[in-house]
Amino acid sequence: MTSSLTLTEVQHAELKRSLFPGDGYESAAILLCRFNGPTNERLIVSKIINVPDEMCAKRTPKFISWSGQCIEDAIDQAEQHADAIVLIHSHPGGMFAFSTVDDESDASTIPALFSAIEADGFHHGSAIMIPDGSMKARLYRSSGGVQSINRITRVGHDVIDITKPLSTYVMPFGSKMTKSFAYQTACVIGVSGTGTLVAELLSRKGVGHLILFDFDAMEPKNLNRIVNSTTSDAEKNRPKVEMMAAAIKRYAPHTTVTIVDASIEEREAIIAASAADILFSCVDSMAGRSIVELICQCCVIPMVDLGVTIPTRKDVEGNTHIADVCGRVDYVRPDGPSLSDRQVVTPEGLRREYLLRNAPDAAQKEIEAGYIKGVHEEAPSVMALNMRVAGDAVMEWISRQFGYRHEGNQPYARTVFSLAGGEVDYDSEASFSVADKPELARGLIEPLLGIPGLANTELEDAV
């Protein structure tokens, strides 16, 4: 069942301006929404259609009569992808509940939406907003059953649950924060050196649902940097996701763990990831990161990308020395500067990876792989470094929901630390240019992420 509705900070501001023009009367808008997740767990706002006040037959502080033409226009736009139509209006007096008038209005209007766009399960619905921007929403079945949306999330520099008055304060690191985590889903993409540590921290924080992605298996060389791994796991080449899921069950039995033993570049993994409230990108490839950032944009999910590196230098005698020991954490909102905008993902890097995968002899001359740049280490001893960056990544997510920074979160789009130099640098989004995001709020419509190679071949064959 659909348990959440997500919109961006920009969409929320646009909606609030439309619904509260300043005259104290109710106003209305229409949300076109798309379902995400394997079982439609999440609903995202794809488009906002404003209902002009002058097209309303009647507006008062407690009542509004809608224009049928606006709803017909919304149906025309929603039909192409079977979008859910959510009718929203304001309660300028601050009543944070559906009124009897709202119930009666839905009883007459919602069946007409199902007549125009047939759908199984909970689909079309209604919502209200009060002056501080808080919202309530509900979905209906064609048969008339109703389901409340438990969590409405505004994603931007901060990630805010707006199903409660925005003045509600939740203290970071307290029991209320832990209770909030129990209703959230986190994805850890790449369950290896940093990924296992992120998963460990999240599960011990009480995250309700954890989705782990990795296609690789345990090897003896992994044992010194993958938390919870054993020699038995390495000897049996146990899948990393399976090993980590079993460990989490031993110390966090209330966390539901879903494992995806596949690359994030595969259809099943993308669909599974679309159910998340947060994406932790712990992959070591640009190709993987490029897919994660597309999921972030298409499915309106914030992401935290992290990585470590140990650059080297040579002295005059040719001896290799450590030049630095570095970690990086990027917080990426769906409509903000992407990893590509930040040059974490580059065309040149993607080309090198393609060559490494398809023409390794040519690629070997162009790419330096591994934690320690310029030195091949089969089992680098980097767990302490990984722990530092994994901790910073989880703290970044906590700050976005339960702000503890004195200056707020806007100055901290990127954090880079140098352990050799004893420095920590921060960059705001203003440090990066922002390209257009044509796939923003696309959802899971075909082809997935707008990539032809990810199209549903079974559907194509059927057509």
Is residue 376's pLDDT more than 80?
Answer: no
**What length is written for the chain?**
463
Residue 463 lies in a domain: no
Cα–Cα distance measured from residue 17 to residue 300, given in angstroms and rounded to the nearest whole number: 21
Q: Domain with 90 in it: what CATH number?
A: 3.40.140.10
Q: Are residues 183 and 74 in the same domain?
A: no
- Taking CA atoms, 231 is separated from 235, 236, 247, 382, in Å, by 6, 9, 14, 18
Q: Are residues 150 and 182 in the same domain?
A: no
**Percentage, residues of the chain above pLDDT 90:** 83
Question: What single DSSP character describes residue 31?
Answer: E
Residues 103 and 184 in one domain: no
77 lies in a domain? yes
pLDDT band at 311 (very low <50, low <70, confident <90, very high): confident
**Do residues 106 and 226 both lie within one domain?**
no
- On average, the pLDDT of the chain sits at 93
Whether the per-residue pLDDT at 440 is higher than 60: the answer is: yes
Residues 134 and 193 in one domain: no
Question: Average pLDDT for residues 295-302, to the nearest whole number?
Answer: 98
In a domain, 9, yes or no: yes
Are the C-beta atoms of 34 and 83 separated by less than 8 Å? yes
Among residues 250, 260, 92, which one has the least CA distance to residue 188?
260
Q: Count up the domains in the chain and report the number.
A: 2
Q: What is the pLDDT of residue 380?
A: 66
DSSP 3-state assignment of 239?
strand
In a domain, 169, yes or no: no
DSSP-derived secondary structure letter, 409: S
Token pair for 298: 């298409």
Judgement on whether residues 179 and 140 belong to the same structural domain of the protein: no
Same domain? For 188 and 153 the reply is: no
Asked whether residue 155 falls in the same domain as residue 221, the answer is no
Domain end marker among 135, 161, 187? 161
Q: Do 256 and 381 sit in the same domain of this protein? A: yes
Does pTM surpass 0.85?
A: yes
Query: What mean pLDDT is predicted for residues 11-16?
Result: 98
Model confidence at 31, pLDDT cuts 50, 70, 90, reads very high
For 342-369, what is the mean pLDDT? 76
Model confidence at 152, pLDDT cuts 50, 70, 90, reads very high
Give the end of a domain, one of 133, 161, 189. Answer: 161
Checking phi first, is residue 300 left (phi over 0); if not, alpha (psi -120 to 50) or beta? left
Determine the pLDDT at residue 355.
Answer: 80
User: How far is the C-alpha of 10 from the C-alpha of 8, rounded, in Å?
Assistant: 5
Question: Does 167 map to a domain?
Answer: no
pLDDT score of 463? 43
Domain range for 33 is: 4-161
Model confidence band, residue 353 (pLDDT cutoffs 50, 70, 90): confident
CA 46, CA 216: separation in Å to the nearest integer?
A: 35
Q: Identify whether 168 is part of a domain.
A: no
Residues 127-142: tens digit of each pLDDT: 999 999 999 999 999 9
Residue 366 has pLDDT above 70, yes or no: no
Task: Specify whether 147 is located in the same domain as 199.
Answer: no
Tell me, what CATH number does 194's domain have?
3.40.50.720
Among 98-102, 187-191, 309-313, 366-370, the minimum mean pLDDT is found in 366-370
Q: What is the pLDDT of residue 448?
A: 96
The DSSP output letter for 255 is S
Both 187 and 129 in one domain: the answer is no
Q: What pLDDT, in 10s, does the model give residues 162-180?
A: 998 877 788 899 999 999 9
Strand partners, 137: 127
- Residue 364, pLDDT score: 60
Mean pLDDT of 251-278: 97
Average pLDDT on 33-51 reads: 97
Confidence of residue 68 (pLDDT cuts 50, 70, 90): confident
Please provide the DSSP assignment of 282-349 as one string: --S-HHHHHHHHHHHHHTT--EEEEEEEB-EEE-TT--EEE---EEEEEEE-TTS--TTTTTSS-HHH
pLDDT the model gives residue 462: 47
- Distance, CA of 362 to CA of 353 (rounded, Å): 11
Q: Where are the beta strands (DSSP E) in 229-277?
A: 256-260
> Can you tell me the distance from the alpha carbon of 31 to that of 45, in angstroms, rounded to the nearest whole number?
6
pLDDT at 359 > cutoff 80: no
Q: Indicate if 352 and 328 belong to the same structural domain.
A: yes
Residue 166 lies in a domain: no
Average pLDDT of the segment spanning 392-412? 97
Which of 131, 161, 191 marks a domain boundary? 161
Residue 326 belongs to a domain: yes
Predicted pLDDT of residue 107: 95
pLDDT in tens, 448-460: 999 999 998 765 5
